[in-house]
């Protein structure tokens, strides 16, 4: 799932690069109101959950950051976060799945199962990538196919490097 996540982000950012900077930040329907703000949100929440998974100790302090104002550095930062997620996932074993991690919530720390945190991180990305997908379509950009990663039949060639 971490590798699929990285591939889907790579494909989505490639499609987003067809937008002009004004179009990237133009008001669009969605929770965060623009493609750029939605991509920043995805990245920021990744930082929060990666910190929890890696037991980095930053907690909600990861939110004390400025949003990226242009696409290229945000894309690079997201790719680094995706690489961290892949490295974390590759280091896990079956016994780790039921381990717990503490997440810092507004009303205090919460202990969560590691497998559920991983699933939530992936689901969060899928949810918001879907919003960007719709925003791209509304902006006149062909939204990319983001579900041809797992099956041998129909797997897109661009997925190959993420299967290594």
* Backbone dihedral angles phi then psi of residue 113, each to the nearest 5 degrees: -70, 140
What is the rounded distance in angstroms from the CA atom of residue 89 to the CA atom of residue 16?
Answer: 27
β-strand partners of 105: 108
- 120 in a known ligand binding site: no
CB-side exposure of 101: number of CA atoms within 13 Å? 22
The helix/strand/coil state of 100 is strand
Angle between helices 2-16 and 114-138 (to 10 degrees): 20
- 41 in a known ligand binding site: yes
Angle at CA of residue 37, ends 137 and 80, nearest 5°: 100
* Backbone dihedral angles phi then psi of residue 111, each to the nearest 5 degrees: -90, 130
Q: Which residues are annotated as a binding site for a divalent metal cation?
A: 41, 124, 128
Residues marked as binding? 41, 124, 128
């Amino acid at each position: 799932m971490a590798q699929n996540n990285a591939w889907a982000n790579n494909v989505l950012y490639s499609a987003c690069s067809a937008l002009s900077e004004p179009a990237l930040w133009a008001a669009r329907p969605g929770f965060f109101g623009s493609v750029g703000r939605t991509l920043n949100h995805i990245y920021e929440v990744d930082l929060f959950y990666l910190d929890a998974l890696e037991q980095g100790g930053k907690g909600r302090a990861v939110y004390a950051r400025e949003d990226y104002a242009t696409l290229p550095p945000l894309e690079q930062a997201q790719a680094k976060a995706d690489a961290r997620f892949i490295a974390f996932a590759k280091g896990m074993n079956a016994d780790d799945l039921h381990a717990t991690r503490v997440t810092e919530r507004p009303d205090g720390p919460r202990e969560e199962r590691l497998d559920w945190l991983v699933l939530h991180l992936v689901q969060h990305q899928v949810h918001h990538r879907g919003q960007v997908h719709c925003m791209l379509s509304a902006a006149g950009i062909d939204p990319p196919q983001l579900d041809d990663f797992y099956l041998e039949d129909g797997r897109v060639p661009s997925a190959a490097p993420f299967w290594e």
